Amino acid sequence: MSDAAFQRELRELLAERVAFDVPMARHTSLRVGGPVDALATPADRAELAALLSLCKRRGWPQRVLGSGFNLLVRDEGLDGVAIRLSRFRALVVLPGPRVHAEAGVSHASLTGLCARQGLAGLEFGAGIPGTVGGWLAMNAGIGTREVRDVVESVELLVPGEQATRTVEAGALEFRYRELRSTAPGAVLVAARFVVEPSSPEAVQHAMDELLARRTATQPLDVPSCGSVFKNPEGDFAGRLIEQAGLKGEREGGAEISTIHANFIVNRGGARACDVLALIERARRSVAEHSGVMLEPEVRILGRSAT
Q: Which residues are catalytic?
A: 177, 227, 297
Would you say 304 and 74 are in contact if contact means Cβ atoms under 8 Å apart? yes
Report d(CA 85, CA 75) in Å as an integer.
24
Of 298, 244, 290, which Cα lies nearest the Cα of 272?
Answer: 298
CA atoms within 13 A on the CB side of 202: 9
- β-pair partners for 174: 179
Task: Render 89-127 in DSSP notation, one character per residue.
Answer: --EEEETTTEEEEETT-BHHHHHHHHHHHTEES-GGGTT
Phi, psi of 152 (to 5 degrees): -95, -40
Directed axis angle between helix 107-117 and helix 200-217, to 10°?
140
Report d(CA 58, CA 165) in Å as an integer.
23
As a whole number of Å, the end-to-end CA separation of the chain is 17
Would you say 159 and 56 are in contact if contact means Cβ atoms under 8 Å apart? yes
Of 243, 225, 234, which Cα lies nearest the Cα of 296?
Answer: 225
